[in-house]
Amino acid sequence: MQASLELPYHAPYAWDALLDFLRARAVPGVECVRAGRYLRTLAVDDYRGCLALEPGAGAALLVSLRPASASVVKRLEPRLRAAFDLDVDPAPIARCLNQDPLLRDLLAKRPGLRVPGHIDAFEQAIRAMLGQQITVVGARDLARRMVERWGTRLGNAGDCGLTHLFPTPAQLSQAEIASLGMPRARAGAMVALARRLIDEPDLLSRGATLEHTIQKLKLLPGFGPWTAHYVALRALRETDAFPASDVGLLRALTAEDGMRPSVATLTARAERWRPWRAYAAQLLWTSDSAPSRKRPSCE
């Protein structure tokens, strides 16, 4: 049995482009993309199971949960609406970004592109820290090894071989994360973050403004400007967050002569994209991930 729920959105919705982004970062054992669906494991209080999202009838996504639990799927609705950016109206975003010729061309290819979020801010923060200064593939492999070592194993493998829950703050608070083969300082920052989150459950939350959110995040262990903006963009739904030093963003704006813009130049250009810089970033990442380009090395 499975419990299902339709989640309406404002059309258009570039579902395939969103899946491409998630597919490249899917942590084996925890999540996967297959046959137009996104699947992942999750825990809600005492519930353990797998959810799947796919296009529903009309302008809606269909979420299903196994084992079935109508109460859990209903409780998940706000988190899923945020994680899959279902409440935004793409029209004002398009009007703003279409003023830049490059973004206008990218948006024409993927109308309704959304910024994929995350149902768990802690998991997204840890994954962002894993991805500091390494490739997307390298970060995904580190996350896989972390899951296998400290995550909770589910009783039965589901679709795509979903076998584990991502480690909780309690599980990582005592973990020897440096044994995965990463800098000890970064591993220590993850452990410190896990321990702080146990004592402060609202630690990873939005501030009154984007600036307040970024300053709050930069006070956390292991959070520099890039990580703060990336977590704000992915986990906290800050629509104007913009990790200007990201290699993928800089590479996506490489000129025909091979020259990349400086961080200062990109930051200045991005002023015209406010208050939707997160969507501009997603368009550029999607462009940089196209078959004709190499994947970003710092996402």
Taking a C-beta distance cutoff of 8 angstroms, is the pair 203, 221 a contact? Answer: no
Taking a C-beta distance cutoff of 8 angstroms, is the pair 235, 214 a contact? Answer: no
Active site residue 246: yes
DSSP 235-297: TS--TT---TT-HHHHHHT--TTSPPPPHHHHHHHGGGGTT-HHHHHHHHHHHHTSTTSPPPS
- Tokens read off for 111: 């109308």
CA distance 238 to 231: 9
Taking a C-beta distance cutoff of 8 angstroms, is the pair 55, 6 a contact? Answer: no
CA distance 247 to 135: 10
- Tokens read off for 81: 């609406």
Q: Cβ contacts of residue 73 below 8 Å, gap of 6+?
A: 3, 4, 5, 51, 63, 64, 65
Residue 291 CB-density burial (10 A; 0-12 exposed, 13-18 middle, 19+ buried): exposed
DSSP 111-158: TT------S-HHHHHHHHHHTTTS-HHHHHHHHHHHHHHHSEEPSS--
DSSP state of 2: -
Please measure the distance between the N-terminal and C-terminal CA atoms of the chain and give it in whole angstroms: 37
Give SS3 for 234: helix
Which residue among 85, 240, 246, 288 is the active-site one?
246
CA distance 164 to 156: 10
- Tokens read off for 50: 């797998």
Give catalytic residue positions: 246
